[in-house]
Amino acid sequence: MSENKLRDFLSNGKDWERMKTSIPGVFVQKLPAYKSSPSRLVIEINPLDSAGAPSKRRGFIIRSIEELEQIRRIFQDDKLDKLQNILESVNPKIKGSTSMKSEDVLEL
């Protein structure tokens, strides 16, 4: 069922449109055709705010299984946690937004 829904989204979705999935913060996004490359679907990773909406205008795009494997290795590096803790201690505190939007959800 999910594959048919994705095929329909690829055929009928608007360029740059995103579809929610059952994984919080993970979306499927339709990229427009570009030069000799046809339209295609990609994974977008975009953390959710307190209302369940994407917290960034554009998330992180993953186009292939190789990119996904590289990202997994990067996120498993303990130095990333250390860097983030340092950045949080240096940066000023920021309040998040609370917008909400209803969308169709792709069940995985």
Place of tokens 């979306």: 27
Does the pLDDT of residue 98 top 60, yes or no? no
Predicted local confidence at residue 65, as pLDDT: 97
The structural domains of the chain, with segments of one domain joined by +, span 2-64
Confidence of residue 96 (pLDDT cuts 50, 70, 90): low
Predicted local confidence at residue 105, as pLDDT: 74
15-18 contacts at long range (C-beta below 8 A, 24 or more positions apart): 15/39, 18/44, 18/54, 18/103
Place of tokens 């983030």: 84
pLDDT, tens only, 27-71: 999 999 999 989 999 999 999 988 888 888 899 999 999 999 999
